[in-house]
């Protein structure tokens, strides 16, 4: 036999061998993923742990021999081994909204009344509000390509590698879908107890609660730690456009794709049925294997959701009922009064320490002077403390039976920072310092300006702001851009390296898109989302500063309060001077996001969408209108230029007809 023939036979054997190994690897991956789904998601294991381990070891051995043939959905991806350098920012293609909260039956009834005013026959789906970390998962052709935290809803952190270690998250889907889903990543109670037990044994500080533990785990740079802590998920939303007609259908679709979906949810035709469900779950809450902090109530019909739309902060079609927080008694020792960046003077109670929701609390907000008067809080009172929204410690009420003093709390008449006389406006509940040169307000304003969600100047935190202000190096936000390396070297604790680093961060912030600058100015009622919406509309700060109240208030989801606040701010000579100084310092005043051409087909027109659309989702239609230069409004008025009406259009169409407003259909919009 010739050498060539011998080699050919050997190569053929190797190919066959590799092919058989590949086939076995594929078989093992399918088997192990099925077993994992049965164990972690369906809670119906069909094989023993030892059998699973045997098959897993076989797969590992095969993958070591054929590392180039490792499949993207292999369960070995879930094992730690990667040390991450950090987490990159992740811009969400589909924004992840937050929900408005309700704390009483009355608030739920008010929500229901607002909905039924427009849609009398509406039904709700009620889901458990899992106390974890909100995440999004993006799949391309059925393969997991990105997992991220919610962040501010627009930008989160890319934690894909860590989420791959969460055992109930599918690495590949049954179908080659392009889909983005949203859900909650949490730590089950059993895992939480085990993690804290281990930390106690190792002399490490214990996690306060499962939510903190889950959040801390997902931000680990060592993926092996994530793999060991047994996190889990519940998915509940198709964030990308969906063909489903209801939230119930979305949940069924997610379950069919092998996502973990919480089975405890109901459909309710009335707010009374919603409340019955809340009361039932409140009784069962402690026996659940995971922590919940409330119930989420959503309009079930997705077309109705689209019709109802959003405010700047939250959807109008959903609300989160929060269970009453844990309450503890504590004695009031003293009160501190602090001045915020808007001049509001806030009282904070110093208390005897108490344990609340796993943390030690010794300070709690008293909200404002009207609250102190309403609750009749006096010196040395025993008070009930709770965590508002399970986050912020607050004083709820006085335990009058334990009162030991009749002496009223001392309410300041002058600003604790600048000694200016405080003002208590009739329409406000708070004391306010109206001195524009108040040091405390200026410092708080500088801290806000440099914060992550505003100009994001790394290294310019509260302590450094305090130093530059006290040395009179900075008097307003424009002064930040006049700082030199030499100035920074005069500060305590600053060396050449740290001074250069901060100087570089300050210079880099000049290139930010203008919505960050607008938010950073701290104009009352103008949050980060409103800032982005305003910049999308006006494109630069100068145009916005010259806009009328009517132009601003006509923008969908903004309204008159924001319009009045902006108008009042830019009317001041000092504000115009500040813009000029920022511009001279080289700070960008333009919106760097996607802009609409001035000659776009619907430029400057106010358009209202109504009814069910067949070809486009409500969001797709809205995006198209915005790309054509339209201002998309939520309600019909004399200022409306055009109404795009789908099928089953209701009161908005009727009003448009009465006002003689131009009406177009979906086909017309699709043709543009």
Q: Is 555 helix (H, G, I), strand (E, B) or coil?
A: coil
Instruction: Please give the structure tokens belonging to residue 298.
Output: 């959503």
Question: Comparing C-alpha atoms, which of 407, 420, 494 is closest to residue 459?
Answer: 494
What is the distance between the alpha carbons of residues 648 and 653, in angstroms, rounded to a whole number?
Answer: 10
Quickly list H helices, 481-527.
Answer: 485-489, 496-509, 514-520
Q: Mind listing the pLDDT tens digit for each residue in 77-120?
A: 766 556 677 788 888 888 888 888 898 999 999 999 999 998 99
Give the pLDDT score at 374.
92
Cβ-based neighbours of 174, under 8 Å, separated by 6 or more = 142, 256, 257, 258
Q: What is the pLDDT of residue 6?
A: 43
Partners of 156 in the β-ladder = 90
**SS3 per-residue string spanning 33-89:** HHHHHHHHHCCCCCCCHHHHHHHHHHHHHHHHHCHHHCCCCCHHHHCCCCECCCCCE
162, pLDDT greater than 70: yes
Strand partners, 394: 365, 386
Residues near 668 by beta carbon (within 8 Å), at least 6 away in sequence: 644
The residue to which tokens 């007809």 are assigned:
657
Q: What is the pLDDT of residue 521?
A: 93
CA-nearest of 366, 376, 169 to 259 is: 169
DSSP string covering 149-203: E-TTSSEEEB-HHHHTTSTTS-SB-SS---EEEEEEEE--HHHHHHHHHHHHHTT
Taking each helix axis from N to C end, the angle separating 573-584 and 560-571, rounded to the nearest 10 degrees, works out to 80
| pLDDT number for residue 78 | 67
Residues with a known catalytic role:
129
Q: CA-CA distance, 385 to 333, in Å (whole number)?
A: 13
- Residue whose token pair is 């203008």: 514
Angle at 103 between CA 98 and CA 104, to 5 degrees: 135
Query: pLDDT tens across 393-417, in order?
Result: 999 999 999 999 999 999 999 999 9
Dihedral sign for Cα 462, 87, 210, 237, please.
positive
Q: Radius of gyration of the chain from Cα atoms?
A: 29
Region 328-355: mean pLDDT is: 93
Least confident range of 156-170, 446-460, 598-612: 598-612
Q: Residue 15 — pLDDT band, cuts 50, 70, 90?
A: very low
Query: Among candidates 457, 213, 253, which has minimal Cα distance to 358?
Result: 213
Average pLDDT score over residue span 629-639: 77
| Mean pLDDT for all residues in the chain | 86
pLDDT digits (tens, 9 = 90+) for 304-341: 888 888 877 789 999 999 988 888 999 999 999 999 88
Q: What is residue 11's predicted lDDT score, i.e. its pLDDT?
A: 39
Alpha helices in 322-428 (DSSP H): 369-375
**Across residues 562-576, what is the average pLDDT?**
88
- Residue 197, pLDDT score: 86
pLDDT over 50 (residue 3): no
CA separation for the pair 341, 438 (Å, rounded): 9
**pLDDT for residue 16:** 39
pLDDT band for position 14 (cuts 50, 70, 90): very low
How many residues make up the chain in this entry? 672
Residues sharing a CB contact under 8 Å with residue 518, sequence separation 6 or more, in sequence order: 526, 531, 534, 535, 541, 544
- Those residues with Cβ within 8 angstroms of residue 486's Cβ, 6 or more apart along the chain or in another chain: none
What gap in Å lies between CA 295 and CA 322, rounded to an integer? 7
Q: Which residue bears the tokens 């109705």?
A: 304
Per-residue pLDDT band at 56 (split at 50, 70, 90): confident
Question: In whole angstroms, how far apart are CA 556 and each of 68, 147, 337, 635?
Answer: 53, 31, 38, 9
Instruction: Name the residue with tokens 């000694």.
Output: 419
* pLDDT score recorded for residue 366: 93
- Tell me the pLDDT tens digit for each residue of 461-515: 999 999 999 999 999 999 999 999 999 999 998 999 999 999 999 999 999 999 9
Which of 132-141, 256-265, 614-623 comes out lowest in average pLDDT?
Answer: 614-623
- Mean pLDDT over residues 600-625, rounded? 79
Model confidence band, residue 517 (pLDDT cutoffs 50, 70, 90)? very high
Whole-number pLDDT of residue 12: 37
Q: Of the spans 47-61, 350-364, 629-643, which averages the highest pLDDT? A: 350-364
What sign has the CA pseudo-torsion 489, 492, 497, 499?
negative
8 A C-beta contact, residue 129 and residue 294: yes
Cα(41)–Cα(198) distance, integer angstroms? 26
CA distance 564 to 550: 9
| Matching residue, tokens 């210079």 | 507
* pLDDT value at 140 more than 70: yes
Torsion of CA 285, 291, 295, 298, to 10 degrees: -140
Look up residue 78 and give its two tokens: 């879930």
3-state SS record for 379-396: CCCEEEEEEECCCEEEEE
Percent of the chain with pLDDT over 90: 48
Per DSSP (E only), the strands in 502-555 are none
Q: Which of 269, 215, 218, 259 is nearest to 238 (CA)?
A: 259
Residues 184/130, Cβ–Cβ less than 8 Å:
yes
1: pLDDT strictly greater than 60: no
Per-residue pLDDT averaged across 515-538, rounded? 89
- Band (pLDDT 50/70/90 cuts) for residue 19 is low
Q: Report d(CA 627, CA 560) in Å as an integer.
A: 24
C-alpha to C-alpha distance for 545 and 532, rounded to whole angstroms: 15
Task: Indicate yes or no: pTM above 0.75.
Answer: no
Average pLDDT of the segment spanning 218-236: 91
Structure token pair of residue 597: 């051409």
Spatial contact of 184 and 236, defined as CB atoms under 8 Å apart: yes
């Amino acid at each position: 036999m010739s050498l060539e023939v011998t080699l050919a036979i050997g190569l053929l054997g190797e190919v066959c061998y590799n092919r058989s190994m590949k086939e076995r690897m594929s078989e093992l991956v399918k088997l192990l993923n099925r077993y994992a789904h049965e164990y972690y998601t369906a809670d119906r294991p069909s094989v023993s742990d030892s059998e699973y381990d045997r098959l897993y070891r076989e797969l590992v051995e095969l993958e070591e021999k054929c590392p180039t043939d490792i499949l993207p959905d292999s369960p070995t991806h879930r094992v730690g081994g990667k040390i991450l350098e950090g987490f990159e920012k992740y811009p969400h293609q589909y924004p992840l909204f937050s929900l408005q909260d309700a704390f009483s039956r009355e608030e739920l009834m008010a929500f229901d009344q607002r909905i039924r005013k427009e849609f009398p026959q509406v039904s709700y789906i009620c889901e458990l509000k899992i106390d974890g970390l909100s995440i999004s998962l993006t799949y391309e052709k059925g393969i997991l390509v990105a997992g991220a935290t919610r962040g501010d809803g627009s930008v989160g952190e890319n934690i894909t590698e860590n989420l791959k270690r969460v055992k109930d998250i599918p690495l590949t889907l049954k179908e080659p879908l392009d889909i983005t889903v949203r859900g909650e990543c949490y730590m089950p109670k059993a895992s939480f107890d085990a993690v804290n037990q281990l930390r106690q044994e190792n002399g490490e500080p214990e996690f306060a609660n499962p939510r903190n533990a889950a959040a801390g785990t997902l931000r680990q740079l060592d993926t092996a730690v994530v793999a060991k802590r047994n996190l889990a998920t519940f998915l509940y939303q198709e964030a990308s456009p969906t063909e489903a007609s209801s939230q119930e259908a979305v949940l069924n679709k997610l379950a069919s794709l092998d996502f973990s979906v919480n089975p405890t949810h109901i459909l309710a035709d009335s707010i009374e049925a919603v409340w019955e469900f809340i009361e039932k779950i409140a009784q069962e809450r402690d026996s659940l294997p995971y922590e919940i902090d409330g119930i989420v109530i959503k309009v079930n019909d997705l077309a109705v959701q689209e019709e109802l739309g959003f405010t700047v902060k939250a959807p109008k079609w959903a609300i989160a009922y929060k269970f009453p927080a844990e309450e503890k008694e504590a004695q009031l020792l003293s009160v501190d009064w602090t001045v915020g960046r808007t001049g509001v003077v806030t009282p904070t109670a110093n208390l005897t320490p108490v344990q609340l929701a796993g943390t030690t609390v010794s300070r709690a907000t008293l909200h404002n002077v009207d609250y102190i008067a309403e609750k009749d809080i006096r010196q040395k009172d025993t008070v009930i403390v709770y965590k508002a929204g399970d986050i912020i410690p607050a004083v709820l009420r006085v335990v009058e039976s334990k009162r030991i003093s009749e002496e009223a709390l001392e309410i300041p008449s002058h600003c604790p920072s600048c000694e200016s006389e405080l003002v208590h406006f009739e329409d406000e509940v708070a004391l306010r310092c109206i001195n524009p040169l108040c040091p405390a307000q200026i410092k708080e304003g500088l801290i806000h300006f440099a914060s992550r969600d505003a100009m994001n100047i790394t290294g310019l935190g509260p302590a450094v702001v305090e130093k530059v202000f006290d040395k009179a190096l900075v008097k307003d936000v424009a002064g930040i851009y006049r700082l030199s390396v030499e100035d920074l070297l005069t500060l305590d604790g600053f060396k050449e390296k740290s001074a250069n680093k901060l100087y570089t961060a300050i210079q880099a912030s000049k290139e930010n898109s203008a919505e960050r600058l607008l938010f950073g100015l701290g104009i009352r009622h103008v949050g980060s989302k409103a800032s982005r919406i305003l910049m999308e509309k006006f494109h630069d700060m100068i145009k916005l500063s010259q806009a009328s109240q009517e132009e601003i208030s006509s923008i969908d989801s903004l309204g008159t309060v924001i319009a009045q606040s902006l108008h009042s701010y830019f009317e001041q000579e000092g504000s115009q001077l500040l813009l000029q100084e920022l511009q001279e310092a080289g700070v960008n005043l333009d919106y760097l996001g996607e802009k609409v051409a001035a000659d776009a087909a619907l430029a400057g027109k106010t358009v209202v969408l109504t009814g069910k659309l067949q070809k486009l989702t409500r969001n797709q239609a809205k995006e198209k209108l915005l790309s054509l230069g339209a201002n998309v409004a939520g309600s019909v008025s004399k200022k409306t230029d055009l109404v795009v009406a789908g099928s089953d259009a209701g009161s908005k169409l009727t009003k448009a007809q009465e006002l003689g407003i131009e009406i177009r259909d979906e086909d017309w919009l699709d043709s543009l």
